[in-house]
Structure 1
Amino acid sequence: MNEQGVLLIQEYGRVELRLRELMDQRGISRNRMARLVNTRYEVIDKWYKNQVEKIDADILARICFVLRCGVGDLLVYREQPAQPRS
């Protein structure tokens, strides 16, 4: 903790979604994907725009089933570059 009592968060990287890339390669629209996955357009739109805050494992499984791909094809971990110490 710092002196103000706020925990310092280390930059540990992030998980990125590759749904846009996979859908674009296959020529699948967000409307069609929502129908195929049996979910709302807004859900697929968030996945498509890489704006998902929490991964729903059921939605992830349905997307993998529709696209015939693995979880590793959809999710990519990006490390945060090391910051110089002062």
Structure 2
Amino acid sequence: MSSTNSIFEIKDYGKISFHIKEIMDSKNLTRSALAKLADVRFEVADKWYNGNIERMDIDVLTRICYVLDCNVSDLMNYTK
């Protein structure tokens, strides 16, 4: 079925890239340490570390910024 016959149109909106791994590695901070300092489960810290975020939790993002002493713009960027 071609996209012209479909009720859905697939669009390329771009991509959000995460740089948390690089920042954590440069600070020698483990995922376990991030989880403890940000008061989140290890699985949550692991998803952020690996850039596997499906839905963004602003509270978690705020905690990560606090722990890593950085801004949101340091953690991610948008590419068209």
Cα deviation code 1:10-30 (max 9, x no counterpart): 111111111101000000000
Counterparts of 2:79 and 2:52 in 1: how far apart (Å)?
A: 15
Counterparts of 1:38 and 1:26 in 2: how far apart (Å)?
A: 18
Q: Percent identity?
A: 38
Q: What's the TM-score once normalised by structure 1's chain length?
A: 0.85
Q: Does 1:18 align with 2:31?
A: no
Counterparts of 2:6 and 2:29 in 1: how far apart (Å)?
A: 50
Cα deviation code 1:57-85 (max 9, x no counterpart): 00000000111100000011122xxxxxx
- Report the counterpart of residue 50 of structure 1 in structure 2: 51
Structure 1 segments, 4+ long, off by >6 Å, are: none
Q: Which has the larger radius of gyration?
A: 1
Number of corresponding residues: 78
Task: Give the structure with the higher percent helix.
Answer: 2
The Cα RMSD (Å) is 1.2
Structure 1: runs of 5+ lacking an equivalent: 80-86
Counterparts of 1:4 and 1:18 in 2: how far apart (Å)?
A: 36
